[in-house]
């Protein structure tokens, strides 16, 4: 065998793939558009081709794939991908990829996979208990307990974006109301930014996006806040305060040593981090928190493929062979 592993991060708009050596170091990577309208068969075929191209046809030890939803952990069959067409339900994706590539293929929810990335290649190295909040279009995450990724019977443990933060808050994509995802995800923050833009409350943001709501995002809002838009800064603060509640709730329940904030929204950096840290301290201040640290991901947008490589290196259940 070559001693090489591959990792893929399947997203709604793009597929990122990496080839890694026996130590998990990424030696090559490439990204292609998902084009999910082509259907699962075509997408899986292109994904397999991408992996084969990256490895120049050399045999692989294993492939790990992070997917945007839930899969049957035993069989690698897809269950529920909220952001891909419904024909993605019940697709034997692991078996299909295994047939094309001739190596073991492991599938797992992308946020749990990113948690493996943080655990083995990011801030989680040497940490026994940690939580990752992945803040993007949705909010997902993962729990590591006693050094082991918590999956639960269906791989759905770690769905910490669907904690209820406001009992009668806005509708969430999951059907519940007031989920953290409905309050602090990229779309939630951007929606508030558009309100400020249209209401004439964000002059810097207006200049930065040249008046276009299409360009309002956590990134452009962060820029506007730093440039002096107080209302935009307040909107970011409020989202961060909700996030602080979500973090504090997980801390009171299971008391990890480390909480990592990852995903695109974490790119707001200190604009978000300080408010989250302060909020967590206020909410769990009376209890000895044993120095729970709250940090920004060190891997940034590499968490997904780095985690997929970790998954490839692991057995099912996400234990990386050491």
User: Quick one: 39 or 254, whose CB is closer to its own copies?
Assistant: 254
Q: Is 249 in the site for its own copies (CB under 8 A)?
A: yes
From candidates 166, 194, 227, 320, binder to its own copies by CB under 8 A: 166
Q: Is 70 in the site for its own copies (CB under 8 A)?
A: yes
From candidates 43, 135, 160, 240, binder to its own copies by CB under 8 A: 160
Q: Is 118 in the site for its own copies (CB under 8 A)?
A: no
From candidates 26, 156, 201, 227, binder to its own copies by CB under 8 A: 156
Using CB under 8 A as the binding rule, the residues of this chain from 256 to 275 that contact its own copies are 256-257
* Binding span for its own copies by CB under 8 A among 46-54, 103-111, 197-205, 238-246: 238-246
> What's the chain look like in SS3?
CCCCEEEEEECCCEEEEEEECCCCCEEEEEEEECCHHHCHHHHHHHHHHHHHHHCCCCCCCEEEEEECCEECCCCCCEEECCCCCHHHCCCCHHHHHHHHHCCCEEEEEHHHHHHHHHHHHCCCCCCCCEEEEEECCCEEEEEEECCEEECCCCCCCCCHHHCECCCCCCECCCCCECEHHHHHCHHHHHHHHHHHHHCCCCHHHHHHCCCCHHHCCHHHHHHHHHHCCHHHHHHHHHHHHHHHHHHHHHHHHHCCCEEEEECHHHHHCHHHHHHHHHHHHHHHCCCCCCCCEEEECCCHHHHHHHHHHHHHHECCCCCECC
From candidates 45, 52, 127, 145, binder to its own copies by CB under 8 A: 145
Q: Is 126 in the site for its own copies (CB under 8 A)?
A: no
Q: Is 27 in the site for its own copies (CB under 8 A)?
A: no
Task: Give the binding site for its own copies (CB under 8 A).
Answer: 70, 79-80, 129, 143, 145-146, 148, 150, 152-154, 156-160, 162-167, 174-176, 241-242, 245, 248-250, 252-257, 282-290
């Amino acid at each position: 065998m070559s001693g090489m592993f591959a990792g893929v991060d399947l997203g709604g708009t793009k597929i990122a793939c990496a080839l890694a050596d026996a130590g998990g170091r990424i030696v090559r990577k490439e990204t292609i558009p998902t084009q999910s309208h082509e259907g699962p068969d075509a997408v899986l075929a292109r994904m397999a081709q991408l992996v084969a191209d990256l490895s120049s046809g050399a045999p692989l030890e294993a492939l790990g794939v992070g997917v945007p939803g839930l899969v049957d952990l035993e069989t690698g069959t897809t269950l529920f991908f909220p952001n891909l067409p419904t024909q993605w339900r019940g697709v034997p994706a692991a078996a299909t990829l295994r047939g094309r590539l001739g190596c073991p293929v492991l599938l797992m929810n992308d946020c749990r996979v990113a948690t493996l990335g943080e655990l083995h290649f990011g801030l989680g190295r040497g940490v026994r208990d940690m939580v990752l909040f992945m803040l993007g279009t949705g909010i997902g995450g993962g729990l590591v307990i006693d050094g082991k990724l918590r999956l639960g019977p269906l791989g759905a443990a770690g769905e910490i974006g669907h904690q209820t933060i406001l009992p009668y808050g806005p509708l969430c994509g999951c059907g519940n109301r007031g989920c953290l995802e409905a309050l602090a995800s990229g779309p939630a923050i951007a929606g508030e930014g558009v309100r400020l833009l249209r209401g004439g409350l964000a002059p810097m943001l207006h200049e930065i996006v040249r008046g276009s709501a299409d360009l309002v995002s956590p990134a452009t809002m962060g820029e506007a806040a730093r440039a002096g838009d107080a209302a935009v800064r307040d909107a970011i603060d409020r989202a961060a305060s909700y996030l602080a509640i979500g973090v504090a709730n997980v801390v009171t329940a299971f008391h990890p040593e480390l909480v990592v904030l990852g995903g695109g929204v974490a790119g707001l950096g200190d604009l978000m981090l300080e408010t989250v840290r302060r909020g967590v301290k206020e909410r769990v201040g009376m209890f000895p928190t044993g120095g729970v640290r709250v940090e920004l991901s060190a891997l940034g947008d590499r968490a997904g493929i780095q985690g997929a490589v970790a998954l490839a290196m692991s057995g099912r259940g996400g234990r990386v062979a050491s």
